[in-house]
Amino acid sequence: MQKNDVLLARQPIYDRNRTLHGYELLFRNSVQNKAEITCNDVATSSVLLNAFTETDFEEVTNNLPAFVNFSAELLDQPPFFDPENVVIEILEDVDINKKVIERILQLRKKGYVIALDDYALEPKYKPLLPHIDIVKVDLPATPRNKLQQVVSYLRQFKLTLLAEKVETPKEFKLCHELGFDLFQGYFLARPEIVKGRKMETSELSVLHLIAEVQSPETDIKKLVEVIARDPMLSFKLLKLVNSAAFRRSKKIESIKNAVLVLGISRVKGWASLLALSKLSNKPEALQETAFIRALACEKIAERLSPNLRDSFYTVGLLSSLDAFFNQPLETILKELPIDDTLKKALTQHEGLPGLALNTTLNFEQSKLDSIDWTKLASMNLTPSDINSIYYQASGLAQST
C-alpha cells in the first residue's frame, strides 16, 4: 500500500496557554474518485494500521503526542506504537464491559496514556473512569447548565480534561474558566479574531514590512534592500534557502543571490512568512500552519495551473494573517497591495487559487465533506492526490 492511498488529517490540541500539545490523527478511506468519510470499525482499523506502517509517523506528528482513535476491534490487537508518542483514544461507541476494562489496564501497564472520547454524564462510564488518563468532553453535546456538573464530577478521578469541538472565543473562555486542561476545535485552528483591536507597534512594523515586500512595485533591487535592512529576516531567509529542502551543492550567501536563484515571487512569499515569525507572542505552530497552507496550495497549482504557482502560494500563506494579527482578514488585506483576484480568493474562495485554499483549509480541519470533490475530480484531482499533497507540504514545512 502507498501512503497516498490513505487520507490523513490532523487536528491540533492546545494546552491552557495555547501551546501546541499534540494532534488528533484522523484517517479516512477513499473509494474510487470521491471521499468516503463514513466507515465502520473494521474499515477504520484497517486504514489506521496501514497509515502507521506506510507513513513517517514522527514527521506527521512533529514528535508530539498523537491521539489515535481505537475501535473495539483495535483494542484487542497489540499496539505497535511507542507509548511515549501515542494516546489511545477510546471511541464513544465502544461497549464498556469487563473485557474492555481489562484490556485498558494491560495497555496502561505498558505505559500507554488512555483517553475517552465524547464523554457524557452517564452511569455506564463510571467503572472506566478510574482507569482513564484523559476525558474528552464534547462541548456541543453537553448542555451549558450541565458543564460545571460534568467538570466537578470528573475532577474526583484526577483526570486531564479536554474540551473538544470548541467553536467560539466565548466557548474557549468558558472552558478555560471551568478548568479544562486541553482544548481542541475549529476556534483554535483559527485563533480568536478581535474586531476593532488596535495593533501593537511590533505588529504594525511587521505588517508594514509585509506590505513593502508584497508591493507590485518591488523589483529585485528594492526587495533585496527591504530584506537586507532587517538582520533577523536576512539570517532566516538565508537559513531557509540553504536548508535541506533545496539540497543545493553550493551555499547561497547573499540575499541578492537568493532572490536571483529562487525568483522574486517565491522570495516575497517566504519573506512575508519570516516577517510573521517576528511576532514573538505567536506560537511556532501557527507559523508552521501558514507554511503548510502555502506549500499545499502551491502543489495544487502544479496540477491545476503551473504558471500561477506563486499566486497560489501567496494565497495559502496570507490566509493565516487573521490569526497572526487578531484582526479580520478583510481589514488586514486593505493594508496590503495585492491583486483583487487574490483578495477574492482569500476572502471568498473564488477562482482556482480560492479552490486550492478552500480544499487545503477543509482538509486541514478534517472537514472532508466540505471539500468540492466533484469539481476537483473534473480537474483530475482525487482524494488520494489531496492527501499526498498535504502530506508532502507538511513534511517539507517541518524540514525547514
What does the pLDDT read at residue 6? 44
Q: Residue 103, Cβ neighbours under 10 Å: how many?
A: 17
Distances (CA, A) of 5 to 51, 55, 154, 360: 9, 11, 40, 18
Burial class (CB in 10 A: 0-12, 13-18, 19+), 335: middle
Residues carrying CATH 3.20.20.450, the chain: 3-189
What does the pLDDT read at residue 326? 73
| pLDDT tens column, 174-212 | 999 999 999 998 777 543 322 334 445 455 556 666 776
How do 182-184 and 20-31 pair as beta strands? unpaired
Nearest CA among 287, 129, 382 for reference residue 295: 287
Distances (CA, A) of 367 to 176, 301, 340, 354, 371: 25, 21, 27, 16, 7
Question: Per-block average pLDDT, block size 10, for the chain (400 residues)?
Answer: 49 85 68 36 45 54 81 66 82 82 89 89 84 93 89 92 89 92 78 37 59 72 74 66 61 75 71 66 73 90 88 84 79 75 92 95 87 94 91 78
Quote the radius of gyration of the chain (alpha carbons, Å).
Answer: 22
What does the pLDDT read at residue 54? 45
What does the pLDDT read at residue 43? 39
Pick the CATH number of 201-365 from 3.30.365.10, 1.10.3210.10, 1.10.287.950, 3.40.50.920: 1.10.3210.10
What does the pLDDT read at residue 355? 96
Beta bridge pairs of residue 70: 90
Q: Is 394 helix (H, G, I), strand (E, B) or coil?
A: helix
Residues carrying CATH 1.10.3210.10, the chain: 201-365
What does the pLDDT read at residue 114? 94
DSSP class of 126: T
- At the topology level, CATH places domain 3-189 in TIM Barrel (3.20.20)
The stretches of the chain forming alpha helices (DSSP H) are 41-54, 57-61, 72-75, 98-109, 144-155, 169-178, 186-189, 201-214, 220-228, 231-241, 255-262, 264-276, 284-304, 309-318, 321-325, 329-333, 340-348, 351-364, 373-378, 383-399
Q: Residue 348, Cβ neighbours under 10 Å: how many?
A: 10
What does the pLDDT read at residue 277? 64
